Copies of this chain bind each other. A is one copy, B any other.
Amino acid sequence: MKNFQLPLHKSEIPTPALLIDFDLFNQNLAEMARFFKDRSAKLRPHFKTHKCPIIAKKQVEAGAIGITCAKLGEAEVLVEAGITSILIANQIVDPLKIRRLAELAPETELIVAVDNPHNIAMLSAMAVEAGSLIYILVEVDVGLHRCGVQPGQAALDLARYIRTQPGLEFAGVLGYEGHTVFVLDAEERKKQADQAMLELTSTAQLIRQAGIPVRIVSSGGTGTYNFSGVYPGVTEIEAGSYVFMDTKYRAQNLPFQCALTLLSTVISVPSPEKAILDTGMKAITIENGLPEVVSPGGVHLEKLHEEHGIVSVDPALIQLKIGDRVEMIPSHICTTVNLHDHYYVMEGEWVKEIWPISARGKFQ
């Protein structure tokens, strides 16, 4: 970020650039905080969406009990930012990574998921060596069929084993209903999410019946926060995308606004019906479909190359010229953010602040 003096006008932003609409972003934060204010379940929002410590701190200020993340490298960024309770909702199995994890732990409440006894033994050994305490959640496969042990006895067996291992404290269970969060019909989505939460909370209950306290029952995405977040026995929700939203989540009519856009510039106008943008797949992702142009009207994204976007133009509505700006909503916010180093935080036509995406690429 060289030569930037704020305030910076929108027309001066170098593109491609990610813009946060500060008002809409704050509305999203407030709406989610309002939902969880008087509930027994609390919000521990997912860092993988925004990867920005400034936003993580705002989420905690708004009532979140801590932050969820996907990777050790992200947890390191969060610790450095002063977040005091961090859940890595994933397995850390590499010996050198476990060492980094154990050495991080004294500085914060660090919670990690497991689904394998060998992994538990390694975590214990390194925690003892580092003189630290690592909090452990048993990951349960509630239907996503990714990581996790089966609900019920397998999870109880791991919980018991964790309790025999020094340096570790069994803290509860985690089960992500990721197979349900994009079910379009809300009723069907609730039905599937409830089934997943039944399996997760029954497992927690089985462990409690064995005399083992279960402090944390963690689940939930932006598509299911209002189902899993009110399911009896669930204590934490990991939703992330609600801060920004994208065209895929927008289709669900959730009470959140699309607060993040990609600003691009027209670099070539081969004909009145066609223009070329300076934005390709290296700046915005397409695995959930093409992004959607929101401004100006009459412009439609047809294709993304590696470094270019190709738009069709309705000449009856708009005449594009080189240098014009085209703004679009990503179809997948998390992978798009992962391509950028900064957010330009907008109040109207002005950049209010520039926020670093400090954990971009911190997947190791």
A17 is an interface residue with CB less than 8 A from chain B: yes
Q: Which of A260-302 contact B (CB under 8 A)?
A: 265-270, 276, 278-279, 281-283, 285-287
Give the number of chain A interface residues (Cβ < 8 Å).
59
Q: B282 to A287, Cβ gap below 8 A?
A: no
A12 is an interface residue with CB less than 8 A from chain B: yes
A6 is an interface residue with CB less than 8 A from chain B: no
- Picked from B17, B70, B141, B306, the residue with its CB within 8 Å of the CB of A335 is B306
By Cβ-Cβ distance, the 4 closest A-B pairs, closest first, are A14-B364, A147-B268, A91-B267, A70-B307
Note all chain B residues with C-beta closer than 8 A to A148: 268, 270
Q: B91 to A268, Cβ gap below 8 A?
A: yes
Number of identical protomers: 2
Note all chain B residues with C-beta closer than 8 A to A278: 90-91, 363
Which of A194-202, A206-214, A338-346 contacts the other chain? A338-346
* Nearest CB on B from A341, distance (A): 5
A44 is an interface residue with CB less than 8 A from chain B: no
Alpha-carbon distance A281/B285, docked complex (angstroms): 10
Q: A305 to B96, Cβ gap below 8 A?
A: no
Q: B70 to A363, Cβ gap below 8 A?
A: no
Alpha-carbon distance A339/B269, docked complex (angstroms): 30
Q: Which of A330-364 contact B (CB under 8 A)?
A: 334-335, 338-341, 360-361, 363-364
Q: Which of A132-162 contact B (CB under 8 A)?
A: 141, 145-148
Note all chain B residues with C-beta closer than 8 A to A334: 282, 306
Q: A340 to B361, Cβ gap below 8 A?
A: yes
* Nearest CB on B from A114, distance (A): 9
Which of A28-36, A58-66, A115-123, A251-259 contacts the other chain? A115-123
Q: B306 to A48, Cβ gap below 8 A?
A: yes
* Known interface pairs A146-B276, A286-B287; A339-B361 also in contact (CB < 8 Å): yes
Known: A14-B97, A93-B323, A282-B334. 17 other contacts (CB 8 A): A70-B306, A71-B307, A90-B307, A91-B322, A95-B323, A118-B321, A141-B270, A146-B276, A146-B305, A148-B268, A178-B305, A279-B363, A307-B363, A338-B339, A339-B339, A340-B361, A360-B361
Note all chain B residues with C-beta closer than 8 A to A265: 93-94
Note all chain B residues with C-beta closer than 8 A to A276: 146-147
Alpha-carbon distance A70/B92, docked complex (angstroms): 37
Note all chain B residues with C-beta closer than 8 A to A308: 146-147
Nearest B residue (CB) for A97: B14
- Picked from B94, B305, B322, the residue with its CB within 8 Å of the CB of A118 is B322
- Which of A96, A268, A338, A341 has the most chain B CB atoms inside 10 A of its CB? A268
Nearest B residue (CB) for A364: B14
Q: B146 to A15, Cβ gap below 8 A?
A: no
